[in-house]
Structures are given as structure tokens and as C-alpha cells.
Amino acid sequence: MGWNRDNSLGWVFVSRMIGIICFLIVVVLANILTYYVENPIYHSGVTFINENFWLLGLIAVILLVADILGAFPFPLNLPAPIIKAIGSVFCIAFILRVFQWVDTVTTMSLYPAFWLVSFLVVPLVFLIVLATGYFEIMRRLWLQPKLDADAGAEVVHLAVIKEPEQPVPNAKSWEEIGSEFRMMLYDIIHRFRQEINKKK
């Protein structure tokens, strides 16, 4: 098992948190500008964002949890597509509220039509996000042995332990013990893969 090579756990958490913090900054600045901008449509838009702030926060948290779980190795990443699919449903709910707000500031009547279509779109989007999420997990599982064979094996064998300049007692250092432990794990995994390939 290894971490997702495309997005590490730390990178996913930091990048998503940066996005959430930037969104909060934009909301605060938008509210401050209401004291200087007298456009009624702008005031209506800021009010709309404030009224739906908790919905947007919930969407951000759901997608953050899904991305963090997606960065874990298999099988810990299995709940990620389900959580992401639930987040997509909340995104559609927010989009419907956007159309409802547009109807209040314009003469268009978009919300009733999109509300009817949403009964078909919501389950369809949920299934598409769920299927693509599990397909991506299966694709990584299929490619993982090839990536390990190309890059992982040589790095372990090429590790060189520097000998100390001054004589030391016969006791092994922690670095030597760790290196031998990594070599042992590699030999076990390599032998296990050979047995599987023989059975195939």
C-alpha cells in the first residue's frame, strides 16, 4: 500500500484549506464593500451569499473530507466517491438557489424549469460521480504495481550506508537497523509478487 502518487495527504489538505480561506476572505471583503457600493443587484448578491453561507461551508467540508479520504491508500479511500457524490447533490441544490435568486433580480423564470429537471439531474450526477470515483480507484490499483516495479525496487537496492569515520563498537546503529528492516520488507513483498505471478 502506498499514498496516492498524484496528490499526497498533506498537499490535498493544504490546498483545500487555502481555497476555503480564500473564499472566506472574498465573503468578508464583499460584505465590507456593501458600505461603499450602492448597486442594488450587488447588495442582493451579497445578501444571497450570506443567506447560503452555511450551505457553501457544508459543501466545502464534504468535498474536503472526500479529497482527504481519496488521498489515502486502498482500501481506506473507498468511502471517498460516496462522500463526493453526496457533495455533488448539495452543489446542485446551491445551483438551484442561484437560479431562484436570478429570477428575483431579473424578469426571467429559470427556477421552475430547472427545478423540474433537477429530479432527473440529481440522481444522474450522483451516479456519474460515484462511478467515476470508483473507476479512478480501480485504475490506480491497476497501475500501482507497474509504478512500483519501474521506480520502487531500484531505489531500495541503491541505498548506501556511509561508514563512520571513527571506529565504533560492534553494535549496529539505528540507521543500519532501519535499512535492514526496509530491505527485509522489500524482499517479502517481492517474493509475494513472484508467487502471485507464478499462479497467473
Q: Kindly report, residue by residue over 14-67, the tens digit of the pLDDT.
A: 888 898 999 999 999 999 998 888 888 889 889 999 999 999 999 999 999 998
Q: Where are the domains of the chain?
A: 9-149, 160-199
pLDDT digits (tens, 9 = 90+) for 116-173: 888 888 899 999 999 998 898 888 888 766 655 555 544 444 455 555 555 545 555 6
Q: Looking at residue 175, what is its pLDDT?
A: 64
Phi, psi of 85 (to 5 degrees): -65, -40
Higher pLDDT, 107 or 89: 89
CA-CA distances (angstroms) from residue 165 to 87, 168, 176, 194? 58, 9, 15, 40
Q: Looking at residue 106, what is its pLDDT?
A: 80
- Residues 130 and 80: their CA atoms lie apart, in Å, by 9
What are the grid coordinates assigned to 157, written together? 537496492
Q: Looking at residue 128, what is its pLDDT?
A: 93
Higher pLDDT, 55 or 77: 55
Q: How far is CA 81 from the centre of its chain?
A: 10
b/e sequence 47-69, b meaning 16+ C-beta within 10 Å: ebbeebeeebeebbebbbbbbbb
What band does 197 get if pLDDT is binned at 50, 70 and 90? low
Q: Looking at residue 130, what is its pLDDT?
A: 92
Q: Looking at residue 10, what is its pLDDT?
A: 77
Q: Looking at residue 5, what is its pLDDT?
A: 44
Q: Looking at residue 29, what is its pLDDT?
A: 94
Give this prediction's pTM. Answer: 0.62
Q: Looking at residue 62, what is its pLDDT?
A: 92
